[in-house]
Structure 1
Amino acid sequence: MPNQHDNTANLLNQYRDYLALLGRLQLDPMLQAKVDVSGVVQATMLEACESDWASFEDQEKLPWLRRVFSNNLIDEIRRFRTEARDVRRERPLSHRVEQSASRLQVWLKSDTPSPSQRAVQAEDELQLAGALASLPDAQREAIELHHLKGVPLEDVSRIMQRTKGAVAALIFRGTTQLRQIMQPS
C-alpha cells in the first residue's frame, strides 16, 4: 500500500521538467558545466516530499516549489564561487527565477487574476516545460535562449555556433512541434 511519501513523490514528478527549465534559464554557460541542475531539482523534490507540500492549496504549490528550488540553486552555485558570501547576489537569482516563470506565463499569453485561472496557468507552464523537455536538444536550447531568455537571434547563433538561418529553422521546427504537443485533444 503506497504511503504519503510515495503519493507526494508521484505528484511532484509533474514539476520536474518545469524546475529543470527554470534552472537552465538561470545559469550562464560557464556555470552550466559546473552546476548539476538535475541534482538541484532532485534536492527540491526531496524537500517537498519531506514537507507537508501535499497539503498546500493548488495555487500555493508552484510558488513554494520555485522558492525552494531557487534557494537550492543558490546553494549549489555558492559551492563554485570562491568569493565571500554576498547576499546581494542571492536576491537577484531568486528574483530571476520568478522572472523566468513570468516569461513562461507571458509566452503562454495568460493573464490570470483568479485562483482558478492561476491553477490553469500553472498547468500550462508545466505542460510547456514537459513539451520543451521532449524536443531535440538543439531545438529546445534555441527556443529557451530566444523566446524565454530574450536573446537576439544573432547572439543565439553565436552561442550555438550555427548560422542564423539554421537557428531560425530550429526555432521554427521546435515551436511547430510545441504547438502540436500542447494542442488540446
Structure 2
Amino acid sequence: MHDDHAAELEQYREYLGLLGRLQLDDMLAGKVDVSGVVQLTLLEAGQAGWDELAETNRVPWLRQIFANNLLDEIRKFRTQARDVDRELSIHQAMEQSASRVNEWLVASQSSPSNQAMRHERELRLAKALSCLPAAQREAIELHHLKGLPLEEIGKRLNRNKGAVAAFIYRGTTRLRELLSSSSEID
C-alpha cells in the first residue's frame, strides 16, 4: 500500500470503529476486537484498488469490506451454524447505522447534504466522538445512534438515568465545540 493511500485510508479509522461498535450486542462487544477488524479492513482496502474507485463509491465499498470482516470475526464467537439472516442483516444494519449517523449530524448542524460533504461530516463526527471521555462517548452512541432509552443506557453503564442524561448533555456540548473547531480534531 502506498503511503498516500495509507494516509487517506487512515482518516476512516474512527468512522469504521464507530460503525462496528454500533453493530455489536452486549454479548459480543467484549469479545470482538473492532479495532483489529478496522485495521484489517484498511489494509485490505489499500491493497484492493482504493485509488481505482470513483470518489463517491469509496465509502460504501469500504463499509462493505468492513461488514464482511466484522461478520468473519463474529462467526468466530458463534457456536451454531452460519446464520444467513444475521449475515444479511449486518450489512443492512451497517448502512442503517451510517444513515443514523448522518441523520443525527444533519439534525444537529445545518449544512448542504451532497455525498462528499456527508462522508466528511461522518468522519469528523467519528473523530470528535473518539476525543470524548469513554462514558460520554458510549452514552451518546447508545442514545443518539442506537436509539436506546436513558434507562437502558443506565443499566449498561451501571449509572442512574440522571447521570446518563448528564453524560449525553456534556458530551453533546463538547461535540459541538469540537465540530465547530476543526483544529482540535484534525
> TM class, shorter-chain normalised?
over 0.9
Q: What pairs with 1:1-150 in structure 2 (closer than 5 Å)?
A: 5-109=2-106, 117-150=114-147
Match of 2:171 among 135, 157, 174: 174
Task: Give SS of 2:31's match.
Answer: coil
Q: Distance in 2 between matches of 1:122 and 1:15?
A: 10
Return the offset for 1:153.
Answer: 0.8
Task: Give SS of 2:106's match.
Answer: coil
- Given residue 26 of structure 2, which amino acid in structure 1 is its aligned partner? P
In the alignment, structure 1 segments of 5+ residues that lack a partner are 111-115
In the alignment, structure 2 segments of 5+ residues that lack a partner are 108-112
Q: Distance in 2 between matches of 1:67 and 1:139?
A: 28
Does 2:153 correspond to 1:160?
no
Deviations 1:72-100 (A, max 9, x none): 00000001111111222100011101100
Q: Distance in 2 between matches of 1:129 and 1:41?
A: 13
Q: Distance in 2 between matches of 1:54 and 1:6?
A: 12
Identity between Structure 1 and Structure 2 (%): 59
Return the offset for 1:180.
Answer: 0.3
Task: Give SS of 1:151's match.
Answer: coil
Normalising by structure 2, what TM-score? Answer: 0.92
- Given residue 53 of structure 1, which amino acid in structure 2 is its aligned partner? W
CA RMSD of aligned residues (A): 1.3
Instruction: Count the aligned residue pairs.
Output: 177
Q: Distance in 1 between matches of 2:159 and 2:153?
A: 8
Normalising by structure 1, what TM-score? Answer: 0.92
Q: Distance in 1 between matches of 2:16 and 2:64?
A: 11
Return the offset for 1:49.
Answer: 1.1
Deviations 1:51-81 (A, max 9, x none): 1112322211110110000000000000111
Return the offset for 1:109.
Answer: 1.3
Q: Distance in 2 between matches of 1:109 and 1:119?
A: 14
- Given residue 151 of structure 1, which amino acid in structure 2 is its aligned partner? L
- Given residue 42 of structure 2, which amino acid in structure 1 is its aligned partner? M
- Given residue 53 of structure 2, which amino acid in structure 1 is its aligned partner? F
Residue 113 of structure 1 corresponds to none
